Amino acid sequence: MAPTLYHSEHSAPSRSVLLTAKELGLKLNLKVLDLANGEQLQPEFLKLNPQHTVPTLVEENGFAIWESHAINSYLVKKYGKNDSLYPKDLKKKAVVDQRLYFDSGTLVQRFSTLIKNLVAGKTKVVPKSDVDSIKEAYSFLETFLRSGDYVTGNQLTVADFQIVTSIFSVSFFVPIQADEFPRISLWIKRMEALPYFKEVNDNGIKLYKDIMKSKLEQLEKEMTITLYFADASPPARSSILTIKALGLKNVTFKRVDLMQREQHKPEFLKLNPQHTVPTLVDEDGFTVWDSHAINTYLASKYDEKSSFYPKDLQKRAIIDQRLHFSCGTLFPRIARTFVGLLFHPEAGISQESIDEIKEAYGFLEKFLEKGKYIAGNELTVADFSLATEVVSIVYCPPSPDEFPKITAWIKRMKELPYFDEVNEKALQILQALVNPKPA
């Protein structure tokens, strides 16, 4: 009577056993377990395998063994016509064992960490640390393949079945590029050429990808970035522009009524003791405030092309300079004027305030000599910060004759599909402060 294999099609370890059985010409009595419905937790299965994992192999005499690496070597020893898949020669066997332990202890473990980090962080973006870790594992495998066509040399072994099924799972998240890992790419093609490979793997891989896509979609639904903002705040609007530019979904915007001092409530002070807006709470609970810090954080984390906040040190330094100009020069000058209008409207707007703004415009005009945008020829987070500030200066807008580059730049920013939408309500509020309606 054939051994019974409890398995799941989407399980890479299960498929490694099926590949081994096919190569051995061994017929198995296959029993599929519905893991999603917890069939592996049923009492009768737990008697066979208290770890409740697949695959699990049961012989006719009741002998049960689980863990695919152990199953594969066992099957070769018992049913193999020769020892080519799992050599008896001690040195050759040791190399195969090393590759099997590499699969279970390195490749699979790093993949497990990647999955845990995705779930814990509620993000479908694989953290760079995990990408680097997986790629290091790929580099080890690339080195193994220097010795021959297969992972232990020129002979196909159970280590190939084990690792290739793992690779198909891992590469869904960290793809293998042929130019970066040429030996792995050729080895995969070699494995796919086995007459039974597609029969064993195609449906299982499709099921696995469908499950992973569904889980990622669910994670995306659960992902919630929260931005605390106030309509009239230029810094808050710059963060909203950044979010729009990055195409971030599932963002919750929470309006803070500054005049009612909601920013001083205990629950808000726990998030931000400086009680300022904007304040960002990321998916994993990480909290940061100050729009410049928020915007560079968001761009660094979610901009795959790194265009809004480039990694190039010199480009980033220029953007940082513009952001500090926003924080330390332009915004304080704007804020002083509006705070004065809010609490002492009778005082009006001083000539000193106008002169300060025009001096700042002069600096901006100089910045724009370098390109179409504030930090060169590429749109960056510096544009979002400074553009929201400039359009907020409704009491002294830049004159096209005096500041043509600023005028052209603002026109360019307004062409962004989300720019006016983000700023429109705020400008109405600010205009009302400058030109209050008679009582």
pLDDT tens-place string over residues 172-192: 999 999 999 999 999 999 999
* Residue-wise pLDDT tens digits, 78-113: 999 999 999 999 999 999 999 999 999 999 999 999
298: in domain: yes
Amino acid (one-letter) located at 308: F
94: in domain: yes
Q: Are residues 15 and 62 in the same domain?
A: yes
What share of residues in the chain are helix, strand, coil (percent, to 5)?
Answer: 60, 10, 30
3-state class (DSSP) for residue 270: helix
Q: What percent of the chain has pLDDT over 70?
A: 97
Q: What percent of the chain has pLDDT over 90?
A: 79
Q: Are residues 95 and 229 in the same domain?
A: no
Q: Is the pLDDT of residue 47 over 80?
A: yes
Q: Are residues 137 and 17 in the same domain?
A: yes
137: in domain: yes
As a whole number, the mean pLDDT across the chain is 93
Q: Are residues 378 and 358 in the same domain?
A: yes
* Residue-wise pLDDT tens digits, 286-298: 899 999 999 999 9
Strands in 251-255's sheet, in edge-to-edge order, are: 251-255, 225-229, 279-281, 287-289
User: Among 165, 192, 217, which residue terminates a domain?
Assistant: 217
Give yes or no for a contact between 118 and 46, defined as CB atoms under 8 angstroms apart.
Answer: no
Q: Are residues 180 and 298 in the same domain?
A: no
The predicted structure's pLDDT at residue 429? 87
The model's confidence at residue 212, banded by pLDDT at 50, 70 and 90, is confident
The predicted structure's pLDDT at residue 124? 66
Rounded to whole angstroms, how far apart are CA atoms 312 and 308? 11
121: in domain: yes
How many domains does the structure of the chain reveal? 2
Q: Are residues 275 and 406 in the same domain?
A: yes
User: Among 189, 217, 245, which residue terminates a domain?
Assistant: 217
* Residue-wise pLDDT tens digits, 133-172: 999 999 999 999 999 999 999 999 999 999 999 999 999 9
Q: Which range of residues forms the domain containing residue 351? A: 225-434
Q: Are residues 201 and 104 in the same domain?
A: yes
153: in domain: yes
The predicted structure's pLDDT at residue 214? 82
User: Among 165, 186, 217, which residue terminates a domain?
Assistant: 217
327: in domain: yes
439: in domain: no
User: Cα-Cα-Cα-Cα dihedral of 330, 336, 341, 347, to 10°?
Assistant: -120
The predicted structure's pLDDT at residue 223? 65
Q: Provide mean pLDDT across the span 430-435.
A: 81
* Residue-wise pLDDT tens digits, 298-323: 999 999 888 999 999 999 999 999 99
Amino acid (one-letter) located at 87: P
CATH number at residue 406: 1.20.1050.10
Q: Are residues 193 and 235 in the same domain?
A: no
Q: Provide mean pLDDT across the span 383-402.
A: 95
Q: Is the pLDDT of residue 25 over 60?
A: yes
Q: Are residues 243 and 376 in the same domain?
A: yes
Q: Are residues 35 and 73 in the same domain?
A: yes
Tell me which residues are annotated as active site. Answer: 11
The model's confidence at residue 213, banded by pLDDT at 50, 70 and 90, is confident
Q: Are residues 258 and 179 in the same domain?
A: no
- Cis peptide preceding 332, ω within 30 of 0: no
174: in domain: yes
The predicted structure's pLDDT at residue 126? 84
Q: Are residues 326 and 212 in the same domain?
A: no
Amino acid (one-letter) located at 240: I
